[in-house]
Every structure is written in structure tokens, then in C-alpha cells.
Amino acid sequence: MVPNSENAQIRASGLRPPSRIPATTGLLEMSASDNNARAIPPPANLLKHKGSALPEPAPKRKTLAERAGEPPARSTNTTSRVMKRSNTTNALRKTSGNHTTSSVRPASAAATHRTNSALPRTGSRSALAARPTSIAQEDDDEDLSSSSILPNKRKAWDTKGRLEDMETLYSQLKSQLDSAATEKSGMEEGISIYKARISEMEQIRLQLSTANQTLTTELAETKVKLSSVNTQLDDMKRSHSFEIDDLRRKNRNDIEDAKDDHRKELERLQREARDELDRVRKDAQEEADRANKTRREEVAEKERELRAELEEERSRRLREIQELTTQFSMQKLTAENDVTQKDRELQSLRSELNEVKANLESSNALTVNLKEKLTEASTNTLTLETSMRAMKAKIDFLESDNQAQSQAFQDLNQKMLDAQAVAAEAKEKLRQEETLRRKLHNQVQELKGNIRVFCRVRPALGEEETKKAELTFPDADTDSKEVVVQGPDQKSAMGTVTKANNNFSFDRVFGPSSQNGEIFDEISQLVQSALDGYNVCIFCYGQTGSGKTYTMSSADGMIPSAVTQIYETAKSLEDKGWTYSMEGSFVEVYNETVNDLLGKAEDWNNKKHEIRQDPVKL
């Protein structure tokens, strides 16, 4: 306690009377804390400063917490100490008042913890414990608490006690500010950690974006390379096909040339033999009057000469045949080497080996055909030897009797000429009959109808068994030209239940159990008309899933069967003197546009194709 002398000095110093300190009744005039504007935290949109990771600039003036942390300087003079405390009290009161009107502090400096105090508080502030308060609100609360404590605990003239209470409040406020600063540093560390993680995630995102762009570029390059490889593959396939065709054509021409040479040589030998026989016959007739011995000697001499010539000619022909055989073997070996080399080159290609193998098989078939033709040439050689034996028999016959030989030779020659005439007449008659057959066949086809419509009913699939239509074929055992579709039940006005049947007639109806072979037997006559030189068109139409592709393009479909019949018939007619030249195209009609499937896809938009009526008529 301060002695009375000091109290007297205080009164004498002219201090303001204690009546200026707010009385306790001032708090009773204030409203409840939940309706007090000073107790409500400011809106969030009024914040003028937000926390960030950047360093804060130094404040222009010290805050209340900094000033509260500075202990007041005490003096030995009681009067001066009391004055300083009084001034500090006034400054605190002014500062507290300023806090209520100052701007809100940054969020990082907001107080999140309140220290429990043993000082009494009014009942109106008990509702603030459940929600956070701002610094300005806490300062106001402390001011109100101080103003309510001082009149209750201290006398108005007890400035020392009041200053001690104020220092206690300062120490509490400082501890709160320290805890807030600690929390702020922790939050700043967390923010820095999150920023580091964000930067790492951004780097990872950039790396992934770069990798994605790289993969996209590689994918585009791979697609370009794949397109180039496919183009090269198509070019190699086309060039290989051309080479095989050239080789096949060359081998065929060589065989035909060899056959022509052999035939010409055989004809020449026959002519020479006939000339020689004529000369021998004339010589024999001229020498008939001579002595029989002289005639026999001359005939024997001629026989020896003819035999020598025949032997020489035979040896020469055998050598020619051997040379032809050797040349053919060399050509065959060369062709096989070329095919083998092409086969090795095509081993690196993908799934296109099947087509190349088919070409190789056709080349092997051609080789077999060449072997057969070589066998035929050998047969012709044997025929030549037989002719030589016949000539030898004729020479022997000349030795027996000149007159009989001459007459027999003339008879044989006449028979041969007659046989040749009969053969020529038969060939001419065969051509005429073939021409007549074609005309009659075409007339039969025209009588059947130039436009014929067939109907094929495919069998129902497993999931369609319950949905299939009810069909009947009334003339299935006779002409098979009608099909009846049974409609739904209809009830008449009299209550009679009937079924509406729809009858359809066609040139031919094929039931669900019919096979492709039966259908082709019906249209094979049209294929024969195409071979006879008439224009024929066969096409299949129907809804999706009705079996068009199976009917036309399967292994035993109409297109493969028609191609097989065309080539078999053309080959069989070669022996009768007929030759065929064939050309083909492979197009599709898509949205009324004709596309050449054997051409390049990039030329489809540049080249326009049209389907026109063939002006050629037979």
C-alpha cells in the first residue's frame, strides 16, 4: 500500500478525479452480445489483406501486442510513477478505442485461442465462447473486462492496483499473441509444404504432357510408316503378279513355237518322203523293162540310201528333241529359280502369302501342262517313227511287185485324201452344228424369258425359330414357282376366323433346304449363253441378313461356280477350233457411285466410271 503522504502528494499533483473512469452501470446499458455490433466479426469480403507466402513488410507503427510486451519503466519517485501509469492507462484506453475502428488484421494473425481468466465477466458475453472472434473484438472484450473489473476490485484512486491489473491483462494478451504467432508459423510452414507439393505436381504434369505429345508424334509417324509399308507391299504384289504372267506367257509362246516348228518339220519330212517315193516309183517304172537283177540292185541301192537318210533324219530329230528337252529343262529351272527367289522375298510380308502361294500353284500347274505337252511331243516323235516304219513297209512292198505297189499306193493315197476330206467336212459340219446349237440355245433362253426372277427362302436361325413366318410351297413337287405367305388370323363380323394368304409367283422358287448347287444348275444355262457371246447379267438383291453374300460369294456360290464353268468350257472347246480371249473388271456400286476395286483408292475421286449398254450384238 502507498502511505498517506504519497496519497497526499498524488492529490496535490492535480490528477483527474476518479469519476472519469467508467462506472459499472455503463455495461448494463449495452445490449446483448449476440446483438452487439462490436461482438459480431467483420464480413470476410471486407478483408483488405490476405495471407500469402511472401514476406510481410515492416509495420509503420508498433502494434498493441508489441507495446504490451514492453514493461513500463518504474521510477523511485512515486509521483512520476503514478503519472506514467495514469498516462499508460489513458493511452491504453485510447488504443482500445482505436482498435474498434481500425481495419481487420490478416487472417494469419487472427486469434484462435482465448486464455481462461479468473476475472469475472458479464452474462451477456457468455455466448461468444462458441465462435471465433477477431482481434478487435478480443481487444474490446478485454477493455470491457478491465473496465468492469477496476470498479469492482479496485478503488478509483488505487491507480497502482489498476496498473497491475492492466499489466496482467497485457501479459495474457501477449501470451495469446505468442500462441497466434506460433500457429501462424505452423500454417506458413504447411503452406510452403503445399506449395512445394504443387510445384512438384506441376512438374510431373509438364513431364506427362511432354511424354503424351511425344507418344502422339510417334503414333503419327508409325501410322505414316505403316501406310508406306502397305503401299510397298501392294506394289511388290502387283510387280510379282506381272512377272509371273510374263513368265507364263513366255513359256506358252515358247511351247507353241516349238510345236509349230516340229509340225512344220514333220510336214516337210512327209513331203520329202512322198516326193522321194514318187521319184522311186518313177525310177522303178522306167527300169521295169530292164533286167530284173539290175532293177533289184537299184531298188536295193535306193533302199539303202533311203534307210541311211531315214536313220540320219531320225538321229537329227532325236538330237533336236533332246535340245528342245534341254532348253525346256533350262527354262523350267530358270522359272523355278525365279519363283523360288520371289517366294523368299515374299516371306517377309504379312498375311499376303496365300495369294502368292496360289500364284505359285498355278505356275506349277503350268509346268505340269508343259510336261504334258512335252509328252505329246514325244508321242509325235513315236508317230514319226511309225511313219518311218510305214515307209519302210512301202519300200518292201515296192520290191515285191511294182504294179501292185503302185496300185496299192494310189489306193492308200486316195483313202488318205478321202479321209482328210471327210475330216475337214466333219470339222466344218461340227462348226455349223455348234453355231446352230448356240442359236437354238439362245432361242430357248429367250422363250424362257429374257428377265427371270428366282426366289430363295433361307432357313431360320436358332434365335429366329419363334419369329419365322409361315410359308408353304404348293407346287414344290412340280414346277416350284409359287410361295404362299400366311398372314395373321382375321375374325369376320360373323365370328368366323380366317387367315389371309398372300400368293407370290416367280420363275423358280427354292425352299429353305435347297443348296447352292441346285440354284447354279438353273442359271448355268445363262452362263453358257455368255460363253456363246450374248450379254448376260446375274445379280442378287434382298434385305440385310437374307443370305445374298452366301448365295453369290461362298465357296460353291454363283460367282465361283460361273467362273469355273467358263474356264472349263473354254478349255474343252479349244480342241474344236474355238479360241476365247477374256477380260474382267472388279467394281462396286456404292451410293450410285462406281468404284474400281482393282485401282488405287486415292484415284477414286479423280476417275469417274460409268456402266453402259454393250453395243455389240450377235
Annotated binding site for ATP: 542-549
Beta bridge partners of 489: 499
Residues annotated within a binding site:
542-549
Distance CA 208, CA 201 (A): 10
How far apart CA 333 and CA 316 sit, in angstroms, is: 25
Helix (H, G, I), strand (E, B) or coil at 461: coil
Check if the beta carbon of residue 482 is closer than 8 Å to that of residue 454.
no
Q: 205-218 b/e with 16+ CB inside 10 Å = b?
A: eeeeeeeeeeeeee
Instruction: Specify the DSSP class assigned to residue 472.
Output: E
- Distance of CA 522 to CAs 308, 444, 452, 528, 547, Å? 64, 13, 11, 11, 18
Contacts (Cβ under 8 Å, ≥6 apart) of 82? 10, 13, 15, 159, 160
Q: How far is 507 from 522, CA to CA, in rounded Å?
A: 11
Give me the residue label for grid cell 527367289: 341
C-alpha cell at 6: 504519497
Torsion from C-alpha of 572, 577, 581, 584, nearest 10 degrees = -30
**What is the rounded distance in angstroms from the CA atom of residue 582 to the CA atom of residue 586?**
14
The angle, 0 to 180 degrees and rounded to 10, between the axes of the packed helices 516-531 and 558-572 is 40
A 10 A CB-CB count for 361 gives: 10
Angle at 48 between CA 45 and CA 49, to 5 degrees: 115
CA distance 503 to 485: 7
